[in-house]
Structure 1
């Protein structure tokens, strides 16, 4: 069986990733409940990430994957948009392209389904040429 706990030497990187992901979610206008569902973390872990108090954080592979998708969505948006209002507002804007069908990307990923997070990443990445 695979160990899904974060190795000790990666805890600092995991903490930095989580803290950054929470800051991005805040900039996108995500509620605490949405952020907790997207990252699949507890309310207390999310609150600690907001405060930057992550000395003893333990994240599993699923949580690290979610953080990675979120950071990559943010990176793609930074490439696509020079304007901060679009860069940070895109996720809360109604999107009428296929898959989104008038919903906001944030509302789709806010339910916590990792498949929705992946699909959202994939479609935003495709806008910039999908050259990761």
Structure 2
């Protein structure tokens, strides 16, 4: 694979990951504005990913790819913890009274847009499935 093919493959892979993360965020009940903030993409990029055009490609930086990975990993952790769709997809929109969340939903915390809020939410949810740090 030459450099041009590798770059195109990377854009295609990034678009696939972004589309998957957007689909999950939508199932969690995130608004377009929240989803764009969580993934640190423009609202237009978020909207294009939401359309799931198979030919669409996008260039993303390392921070954006890491954010996508965290959303996918949160979803994976929730799939281990919950076997019913109401909790699997509803948990992120439920008020959480643990110290870190202070009555806010995990989605609200992540939608602040800063990386640490997303990462700390991931850590706490990952712990639910018994992952040790």
TM-score of the two chains, using structure 2 as the length reference: 0.90
Matches within 5 A, 1:1-132: 7-53=7-53, 55-130=56-131
CA RMSD in angstroms comes to 1.6
Deviation of the 1:55 alpha carbon: 2.2
Deviation of the 1:29 alpha carbon: 0.5
Structure 1: which 4+ aligned runs deviate by more than 6 Å?
none
SS in structure 1 of the partner of residue 103 of structure 2? coil
- Any unmatched runs of 5+ in structure 2? 1-5
Deviations 1:59-89 (A, max 9, x none): 1101000000000000000000001000000
Deviation of the 1:131 alpha carbon: 5.6
Q: Distance in 1 between matches of 2:21 and 2:52?
A: 12
Q: Distance in 1 between matches of 2:11 and 2:52?
A: 14
Deviates more, 1:45-54 or 1:120-129: 45-54
Q: Distance in 2 between matches of 1:11 and 1:66?
A: 16
TM-score of the two chains, using structure 1 as the length reference: 0.90
Deviates more, 1:56-65 or 1:8-17: 8-17
